[in-house]
Structure 1
């Protein structure tokens, strides 16, 4: 089969009529420019979404009643869930009388942190991580990030969770 003037074209050429002489090739330089521009636009879009997402993230949440303030003795703790039923948290009354609350999910591998009555630390039994009760920062073990703090308000003798501070 020849492709001469009087020759019959093969069936595939009839199905795919590409004229190579009219096809526009993309040079390596054009491809490199396209990829560089596309990558720069993607990086800029990702950065702007990250900045705008952090700026417009709601800081507060619904106010949820946890317990009466008198129900927690100094050095004691109480478990609750906030902002949803799938988010375990722990409320602590420090020795000086202050109330603090944190997510009960360890920042290392999501195990539950526990508090022993009278202890000044939160303990993660999975990998022996320790967190300070005053600020939720990691003290020992593999965790590197502090526990998310639950924002609290006291209203007429009751304690309410009102937001999460990551």
Structure 2
């Protein structure tokens, strides 16, 4: 038998062996040609389930490992960021360190005390704004709050702390000396 698209393969016979015109409506709407149906053995199904579950378990173990041991410091050449007298207490300045990185935020918390973090929120990369009088950093996009002294999330959707920029004050100048990544 041939059709418009070439030779037709014979269709399988429905289980009740009735002609197509006498089949129930659901069988006419959703015909299943058993000859073309893929057979999956129980062994193949179990193999697929075990491999998929193993992949999920390995992925979760990787996340646990990264959360426990993921914090690391990246050292780069020291970069002068600001003069100690440049900012008032509670003042902030953005900078990039190292070159080509995401924006960083330097905040003066005391006469000679500074903290610096990645300016992007760890939730959806919105810029954080210092609220020094409250001792916090605020992400206005989803009302996230971070501790100003540790970078740890305090409220809102962020779950990870902000990456901290390591600082040194030498000769009345604040230098960025490295970046401590947050655990992922």
Whether TM exceeds 0.5 here: the answer is: yes
Gap regions ≥5 residues in structure 2: 2-6, 8-38
Residue 60 in structure 1 maps to residue 74 in structure 2: yes
CA-to-aligned-CA distance 1:59-93 (integer Å, 9 cap, x gap): 31423412233433332222112334341111112
- Report the counterpart of residue 163 of structure 1 in structure 2: 179
Q: Distance in 1 between matches of 2:152 and 2:121?
A: 11
Q: Is the 8 A contact 2:165 2:176 kept in 1?
A: no
Q: TM-score, normalised by structure 2?
A: 0.57
Q: Distance in 2 between matches of 1:37 and 1:140?
A: 38
Q: Is the 8 A contact 1:152 1:163 kept in 2?
A: no
Report deviation, 1:162. Answer: 0.9
Aligned pair partner of 2:86 in 62, 67, 71: 71
Report deviation, 1:104. Answer: 0.9
Gap regions ≥5 residues in structure 1: 2-10, 12-25
Work out the number of aligned pairs and report it.
146
Q: Is the 8 A contact 1:75 1:119 kept in 2?
A: no
